Homo-oligomer: A and B are copies of this chain.
Amino acid sequence: MGATLRDGKLAYKTYGTLTEDKSNAIVYPTWYSGRHWDNEWLIGDGMALDPGRYFIIVPNMLGNGLSSSPSNTPPPYDRARFPKITVLDNVTVQHRLVRQHFGIERLELVTGWSMGAGQTYQWAVSYPDMVKRILPFCGSSKTSEHNIVFLEGVKAALTADDAWNHGWYEEQPAKGLRAMARVYAGWGFSQAFYWNQVYKEMGYSSLEDFLVAFWEGFFLDGRDANNLLTMLWTWQNGDIGKTPGFDGDHVKALGSITAKAIVMPAEKDLYFPPEDEEYAVRHMTGTEAELRVIPGVWGHFAGGGGNPTDTKFIDDALKELLVS
């Protein structure tokens, strides 16, 4: 949009030790509103992302409140003036970290959930010579129109609160954040998740308790409205076809991917439905790409680390991919 982010900061955390030959690196970007610590459920001894074996870099997305964001950028590009950030912008600065700062030339794997999956695809398209394997889960290489509409609803709920004041608030627009949370609640988990009252197994006493404690709590937990709107714009505008050299041709960009891939949508994900990823895999003609659907009722949050069964399913696929 013609704005420039000066002195941008990329916050990240690493797990494990980089080998001398720099051959054991993995990039695992964050997701919509997630912070690096929210990724840690998939990292651990004996897991695929084992810090005893791999050097795992978790870069925080621009706009997430830790990397440069509306909430932490000084004037004049603070708050509502924060520049529009693309998925490509995110991956470009991550690449700088990986290549220039760490001197890594090859990545064993890039993986991520949701918007992290979008960044995973972007890595594979932008740096085909660097990325050996990808495992994007519950995400997409181009944000679908339905997904854009879902996000329009989220945005409309947040910005309906006068306290938002077009981004020039002094205190968080709490009513808008709570409204946004309630909109999100219907999308994050599947119809069957609610039908089966799985939230009770998670320790919530009632549907309303789940809406307040889990969902409203989620968006009130240190989240900032401008940050959320920045990342929402990033999400809505995600499209690997916009990578330089592809002239907006999303299918061509998919065809350019050379990283070996397991693509994992969740069976009942309401905004990244499996059929969209089936389409993507069909067009990944330049590599060996497998569609492997995460079964079950957790919907989008199958990839959120809250359900041991789904976590194992993802971890098993990562293990399989890493030895192939």
A residues near B (Cβ < 8 Å) are 144-146, 148-150, 152-153, 155-162, 175-176, 178-187, 190-195, 197, 207, 211, 270-271, 273, 275-276
Contact = CB atoms under 8 A, between A and B. Distances in A.
Nearest to A216: B156
A318 to B, nearest CB: 27
Given A157-B156, A160-B175, A276 B195 contact: yes
A145 B194 CA distance: 6
Q: How many copies does the complex hold?
A: 2
* For the complex of A and B, 9 pairs with smallest distance between CB atoms: A153-B183, A156-B179, A146-B194, A160-B160, A156-B182, A160-B179, A145-B194, A157-B157, A146-B191
5 contacts: A145-B207, A146-B191, A146-B193, A150-B186, A156-B181
Contacts of A175: 160
B146 A195 contact: yes
A195 B150 contact: no
A275 B192 contact: yes
A179 to B, nearest CB: 4
B156 A207 contact: no
A302 to B, nearest CB: 16
B191 A273 contact: yes
